[in-house]
Chain A
Amino acid sequence: MKEHPQILLKNIGHDDQHTLAGYESRGGYSVIRQVLETDPLKVIDEVKTSGLRGRGGAGFPTGVKWSFVPRDSGKPVYLINNADESEPGTFKDRLLMEKDPHLPIEGMMIAAWALQANWACIYIRGEYAYPYMRTVEAVKECYEKGYLGKNIFGSGFDLDIVVHRGAGAYICGEETGLLNSLEGKKGQPRLKPPFPAVVGVYGCPTVVNNTETLAALVPILEQGGAWYASMGTEKSTGTKLFSASGHIEKPGVYEIELGTPMRQFLEEQCGGIRSGHELKAIIPGGSSVPILRADEIDSISMDYESIQEAGSYLGSGGFIAMDETTDMVEAVLNLMHFYTHESCGQCTPCREGGHWIEKIFGRIARGEGVPGDLELIDNLADQIGGHTICAFGDAIAMPATSFIKKFPDEFRARITEALKGTFQNNKSTASELGA
């Protein structure tokens, strides 16, 4: 079994790691002390060197994102820790916040210094009660010790961190939806451009980074960007947390070096498919990315490029495995139900089209499908994905089309069975429908 460097999860086994004392006893808050003596631009360069990519799903290089922030706009720069982890099948940030909440906070301090932001916010998913409590406690401890507030660590740099709890909408994890929500508005994504790096929360330049991304800054600034870049592949550097769930022997959060073969990850970390069953399909990066069939995964490794080449995305690292007992019609209906429920309702294709697709899948699942339904879904999904303000349209379109494309026989069989029933009841209807 391959040993993976544990740079984010190395301390989560300790019972007192969530306390400031525990965190500091294992070297916590030593990196930020050094960073505060470094030129902020050098910090950004170090992060660029590391090749760290956003862990929230889009995989955009973090250092590059930071460099979009105008440095002389005359406005304050804000930093947001996006802990609104809501993608079905994704629960990695939760683990960090529950077991090692000071790690992302130290990461925020590093990012805030690099961006010269004096105000930062942790936006936590509403349902994450325990991570919220742990985070609030951690922030409180920091304030008590003078690690937050005025003149942190005696550096002359001020940093305030506010912990904000979401109200349970998936779309508030979309960075501009988050900004609106934070401002007290309805959580609806904003039109881009302008991008948050230029016009963000309260109209000021804002950087929104995922919790895992921020946590990864601590080891990067400790051991250097080059060290981080030496792990993983050329374009997918370092390690990444994967939330493994589904029909596997050992569900959980695993930190692996990017570029690990998918099959190896499945067998070694996840313990393989539950005994007596065999793999049918995998959703590799959270439920919004296209599904992969079992026969497709052998050539794939767990990095951004390889998965994209195979027609899916690494996304947030929500690794969902399904065995042969999974009914694909029911599974996609479940996903569609989630996504249409979470559609913010702002733009037409997603608001109307998403529900339409869900209704058609519902009909097929109930045995009321008709020929042409699958083509219709495909056509509708094509007009939703890429036609909306945010990427949510794609989150509806990608599962809908990929489930049909990868498992066409299951959907066709459901429709044919339905027609047999119709045929028995009404011969003419069935023939009209071309059965």
Chain B
Amino acid sequence: MMSIKGSEAKLVTITVDDNEIQVPEGMNLIEAVSKSKIEIPHYCYHPHLSVAGNCRMCQIEIEGRPKLEIACNMTAQEGLKIRTHATSEAVKNAQASTLEFILINHPLDCTVCDQAGHCKLQDYHFQYNARPSRFVENKVNKAKAKPLGPTVVLDGERCIMCTRCIRFCDEVTETSELGMVNRGDKSEITVNEGRKLDNPLSGCVVDLCPVGALTHRNWRFNTRIWFTKAVDSVCPGCSTGCNARVYSRDKNVVQVKSRRNDEVNKDWLCDEGRYGFDRFLPEERVIEPRVGSESSSWEEALTGATSLKGKKCVVFLSPDLHVEEYEVLKRFVEQVAPESHIAVSYRERSLSKLEAILMSPDSAPNIFGAEFAKLISDAPGDAYESALRGLNDGAYDAALLVGDRAILTEDLNDAVLGKLSHLENSVGIFCDSNTDLQRACKVVLPGRSVLEKAGMFINRGRRLQYCERAVEFPQGSKQAWRILNELSEKLGKKITTATDDRALTNWYLEEEGRLAGLSIRKVKAGGVDLTQYQPATTNETETGVQPRS
């Protein structure tokens, strides 16, 4: 049951096309009816924006009312009886007409439109109209390819005037860059005089646009959506853990959309996260292991890395490793070099008021995963700062560095790099070959970036979330957990029997008592709030795996 405004709303019975359903009282009717597996089509309605009621797509019949009403401006009340397109001819006609009206001035340039294939206008036309237009007059011409700001471009002719973009800028960012000018069919969306659309969440208006009117300037004409592979991921930009849907083609991210999660990011993504989703995918890759200055085989490199055993080691970790990897790392260190000092790079940054709508003051997507794995305690940055000081003071005789951001670029001064390169034993697992950090290490193993593997993050709100692998990994690279597992096998005993990311997650969910009863499927469904989660007892877990009768 969904809670409304923090309180558990009372359930009421409404009748949708002769079927009774129970929904929370006061719930928006579009949301409520979706519980009956019937979709009320809509363009202008959005659960996190005010109700505009202008598209007229969500018209429904209500018993006792003479005219059709719009579902978006109504709430569930006891005894309400409604009919949707499924059983009402009047509703069917109204929706078909609305689509016909919307399409008369629409350019129908689907062949060159980025939205084709994920366009609500296309979808609804086939679902609710699918008849040829009766319009034989001239279409209205409006501004084409008009930049609204650095990130977004408008095609005025494709616009259906749902005003979601305007309402987003008025209500969410409260920056009010966008407005509507002119009247009637000359109406256009525009940036208000002297303004440009350049707030830190500007890309959201493209997600909100149900048609191809607003597109990302950097991703326009990249590819047809049906050639892409889409996965559900979590933004690796900061510890907010915004849910995202990542579209990739070959090894490239070609578009990122927000994925609705009312508990985390509602339906938004910040521009830094969206447009920089692949900023952790380096251009120049470590493609083979290296020992000293020579390329080597995996065998040689792993053998070189065994030198860490028993050393007083400093372990610097990227803040974007998955929780499972942190667990593997913890066990590796306990097993191989228990005297070591583990640190996860972390430093807070200041955010503007607008950035703070969504962003967390860090660049560490899984710092709270490291905390959960008990790699760090107290203030998240303390271990990191003291490890840096220790390195400078010559407190360690070896170093293990995992991930390109194991030490933040801002900290890679000559002193730190000098100390690192003078260590007799230093092992790094990196993706980016063009870094001083990589060059400073004695043994380097090719790792995978955060987008090239699947696993779990824990966000600032202590919500466990699952990220699928977004892009193809380069041949010859291995996940950090796998490299460490092989290394520990070489030194005596395997940490896990898992051979792929999915198996590792399942292994971790079984091993970690605090997560007992969870499965990947459960974590994927909106994430799991760990502050509320009650781990299943052993009995429950057992019942859970019994075959269904």
A-side residues, CB < 8 A to B, are 169, 171, 186, 191, 193, 340-349, 351-356, 359-360, 363, 376, 380, 383, 386-389
Contact = CB atoms under 8 A, between A and B. Distances in A.
Contacts, number: 93
Contacts of A352: 101-102, 104-105, 185
Contact of B56 (A349, A354, A363): A349
Contact of A348 (B73, B140, B160, B180): B160
Given A345-B161, A383-B97, A356 B68 contact: no
Interface string B284-296: 0000000000000
A345 B183 contact: yes
B98 interface: yes
B78 to A, nearest CB: 18
A343 B102 contact: no
B98 A356 contact: no
A171 B52 CA distance: 17
Contact of B134 (A345, A351, A354, A376): A376
Given A348-B102, A351-B184, A383-B94, 7 more contacts: A186-B179, A341-B183, A345-B187, A351-B187, A355-B140, A356-B101, A360-B137
B184 A342 contact: yes
Interface string B128-157: 000000110110100000000000000000
B54 A346 contact: yes
Interface in B152-188: 160-161, 179-180, 182-187
Contact of B137 (A340, A344, A359): A359
A164 B51 CA distance: 28
Contacts of B135: 356
Interface residues of B, number: 34
B140 to A, nearest CB: 8
A387 B56 contact: yes
B526 interface: no
A342 B52 CA distance: 20
B183 A169 contact: yes
11 contacts: A342-B183, A343-B184, A344-B184, A345-B187, A347-B55, A351-B187, A352-B102, A356-B137, A363-B137, A387-B56, A389-B54
For the complex of A and B, list the 8 residue pairs with the smallest distance between their C-beta atoms, beginning with the closest: A345-B187, A383-B97, A352-B101, A359-B137, A343-B184, A191-B53, A355-B185, A347-B54
A73 to B, nearest CB: 20
Contacts of B73: 191, 193
B59 interface: yes
B53 A347 contact: yes
Nearest to B163: A346
B241 to A, nearest CB: 35
Given A383-B97, A387-B59, A348 B137 contact: no
Contacts of A363: 137
A386 B68 contact: yes
Contacts of B54: 346-348, 389
A344 B183 contact: yes
B137 A345 contact: no
A297 B453 CA distance: 80
Contacts of A348: 54-57, 98, 101-102, 160-161
B125 to A, nearest CB: 14
Max chain B C-beta neighbours (<10 A), residue from A347, A359, A360: A347
B180 A186 contact: yes
A388 B69 CA distance: 9
B93 interface: yes
Contact of B185 (A342, A345, A380, A386): A345
A345 B184 contact: yes
Nearest to B72: A191
B101 A349 contact: yes
A56 B119 CA distance: 43
B191 to A, nearest CB: 15
Interface in B87-115: 93-94, 97-98, 101-102, 104-105
B67 interface: yes
A359 B136 CA distance: 10
Residue among B73, B102, B137, B160 with most chain A CB within 10 A: B137
